[in-house]
Amino acid sequence: MSILPQLAFLLILGVAGYILSKRIQFLRRNILLGKAETRNDQSENRWKTMLLVAFGQQKMFKRIVPAFLHLLIYVGFLVINLEVLEFVLDGILGTHRLFAPILGGAYTLAINIFEFLAVAVLVSCVAFLIRRNVMKVERFTKPELKGWPAMDANLILVIEIILMFAILTMNATDQILAGRGDEHYVALGTLFFSSFLQPLFDGFSDGALVAIERFAWWFHIVGILAFAIYVTYSKHLHIFLAFPNTWYSNLKPKGEMQNMPEVTNEVNMMLGIPVENPAEPPAEIGRFGAKDINDLSWINVLNAYSCTECGRCTSECPANLTGKKLSPRKIMMDVRDRAEEVGKSIDAGGPGLADGKSLLGDYITKEEINACTSCNACVEACPVNIDPLSIILQLRRYVAMEESGTPAQWNAMFQNMETSFSPWKFSPSDRFNWADKVKEEEMK
């Protein structure tokens, strides 16, 4: 037999591997445009969170119907990839169904399981297409999904459906050929699901069947490699990034805002409190808060790349629910899009971050961030523990401390706090007046 197919396969594998590694470098660099932050504490807890939330899909199950459909696709993805291992080995070695003789009956069982999952994935993808395009589930019709994001979502589902059809077609034709006694093909006994496709191919010649079987095989494996590359351009990156993203979850109470030590030193000096290590020159202070992606933590940018735009955050956001412009999902999409823009610009020898644009202003408006109630509903809702609130609050810090651009009513509140130590304008000496009534009653 010619070794041409093997060489072709190796070439395709090599090219795909090269493109993928380039893409991974690009994504990694973009994520690291964010500021350094160390979050390696409590590693036992982090592994546990990753196992429960990413691997175990724990938070998906807050909404049972999409959780179930998603679970089928997820398990299908994990398990069918075992078969891809055989595909790759067959491709390199020029064999066909390498594991069939070794595993015997267990192989037939495994292929039947793969077929079941392929059908399950197929059905789920169709259901998801219906939810998006026919039922128009509200969170999939928000303005930030118009255009490419909606197309991206549909493309992913359609590609998955086609890939699953390729597997089933391959198995059906393969088994017809085995049944006709072609010695290259191994009879596996009953393959339940693909046997339903066999009548479609009954009248075909052997040659035609071989052609279809080979086409389906190549289509599936090349399709998977192409899909893997496509994923790096798509919101579908969550299939990989959900794992590191949950590992780097914020494990502190959700209400806690991160301290700004650079401010603490100044405050201590103003209040005449001795500063620790006063000899130490002040660390170079960049900006207070965040204006662009390089002011955010790299974990914020990782969050953005892990977002699959499901919109559970936005559908629980009180501001969004009541018609305000804020959408936590859009915040995440904006961070990712800005990181992509800067990354591409750097690679093209362009100005990168210095392109005259910024995350705040060109992507996210003050009106959006001002509408946030910091209620943590978005953080709680996210199936992969993304934290949009952290980004919103860092942007607010920039607006307040670098631009003095907070709404007038907040400025008034600041002033009250500076002069009377309360957000309302009351005399500080009246703070204890509530006790008069209690004392009066006790005197009686």
Partner 1 sequence: MAEMASNGQTPEVLFWVGCAGSFDERYKAVTQAFVKILNKVGVSFAVLGPEETCTGDPARRAGNEFLFQMQAVANIQVMNGYEVKKVVTACPHCFNTIKNEYPALGGNYEVIHHSQFLQQLINEGKVRLQGGGEFKGKKITFHDSCYLGRANDVYEAPREVIKALDVELVEMKRCRTKGLCCGAGGAQMFKEPEAGKKDINIERTEEALATGAQAIAVGCPFCLTMMTDGVKNKEREAEVKVYDLAEMIAKDMGI
**Interaction of residue 380 with partner 1, rule CB under 8 A:** yes
Distance from the Cα of residue 248 to its chain's centroid: 13
d(CA 23, CA 33): 15
Structure tokens at 432: 């204890």
Task: Single out the residue of 65, 279, 348, 438 in contact with partner 1 (rule: CB under 8 A).
Answer: 438
**Interaction of residue 322 with partner 1, rule CB under 8 A:** yes
Closer CB to partner 1, residue 362 or residue 380?
380
**Interaction of residue 430 with partner 1, rule CB under 8 A:** yes
**Interaction of residue 37 with partner 1, rule CB under 8 A:** no
d(CA 175, CA 180): 9
* Shortest distance in whole angstroms from residue 380 CB to partner 1: 5
Rule CB under 8 A: which of 348-367 touch partner 1?
Answer: 367
CA distances 385 to 51, 170, 235, 337, Å, are 13, 39, 16, 20
* Shortest distance in whole angstroms from residue 255 CB to partner 1: 3
CA distances 3 to 81, 206, 214, 216, 322, Å, are 25, 22, 15, 19, 64
d(CA 330, CA 36): 24
**Interaction of residue 434 with partner 1, rule CB under 8 A:** yes
Size of the site for partner 1 (CB under 8 A): 73
**Interaction of residue 254 with partner 1, rule CB under 8 A:** yes
Phi, psi values for residue 278, rounded to 5°: -65, -25
Closer CB to partner 1, residue 129 or residue 412?
412
**Interaction of residue 201 with partner 1, rule CB under 8 A:** no
**Interaction of residue 413 with partner 1, rule CB under 8 A:** yes
Task: Single out the residue of 118, 371, 386, 391 in contact with partner 1 (rule: CB under 8 A).
Answer: 371
Nearest to 35 by CA among 290, 302, 244, 298: 298
**Torsion angle of C-alpha atoms 338, 339, 342, 344, degrees rounded to 10:** -110
Interacting span for partner 1 (CB under 8 A) from 3-11, 128-136, 154-162, 254-262: 254-262
Closer CB to partner 1, residue 232 or residue 376?
376
* Shortest distance in whole angstroms from residue 444 CB to partner 1: 12
CA distances 10 to 2, 7, 17, 214, Å, are 14, 5, 10, 16
Q: Give yes or no for a contact between 31 and 301, defined as CB atoms under 8 angstroms apart.
A: yes
**Interaction of residue 285 with partner 1, rule CB under 8 A:** no
x/- binding map, residues 131-160, to partner 1, per CB under 8 A? ------------------------------
* Shortest distance in whole angstroms from residue 330 CB to partner 1: 14
**Interaction of residue 417 with partner 1, rule CB under 8 A:** yes
Name residue, tokens 């001002």.
370
Q: Is 35 helix (H, G, I), strand (E, B) or coil?
A: strand
**Torsion angle of C-alpha atoms 406, 408, 410, 414, degrees rounded to 10:** 100
DSSP string, 223-259: HHHHHHHHHTTSGGGHHHHHHHHHHT---S-TTPPPP
Task: Single out the residue of 324, 337, 340, 362 in contact with partner 1 (rule: CB under 8 A).
Answer: 324
**Interaction of residue 44 with partner 1, rule CB under 8 A:** no
d(CA 194, CA 201): 11
Task: Single out the residue of 165, 201, 230, 410 in contact with partner 1 (rule: CB under 8 A).
Answer: 410
Task: Single out the residue of 10, 15, 109, 263 in contact with partner 1 (rule: CB under 8 A).
Answer: 263
* Shortest distance in whole angstroms from residue 357 CB to partner 1: 21
Element (H or E) spanning 123, and its range? helix 105-133
Task: Single out the residue of 180, 264, 285, 350 in contact with partner 1 (rule: CB under 8 A).
Answer: 264
**Interaction of residue 428 with partner 1, rule CB under 8 A:** yes
Q: Percentage helix, strand, coil, to 5, in the chain?
A: 70, 0, 30
Task: Single out the residue of 283, 424, 443, 444 in contact with partner 1 (rule: CB under 8 A).
Answer: 424
Task: Single out the residue of 273, 284, 355, 360 in contact with partner 1 (rule: CB under 8 A).
Answer: 273
Q: Give yes or no for a contact between 182 and 94, defined as CB atoms under 8 angstroms apart.
A: no
Closer CB to partner 1, residue 206 or residue 430?
430
Rule CB under 8 A: which of 88-117 touch partner 1?
Answer: none
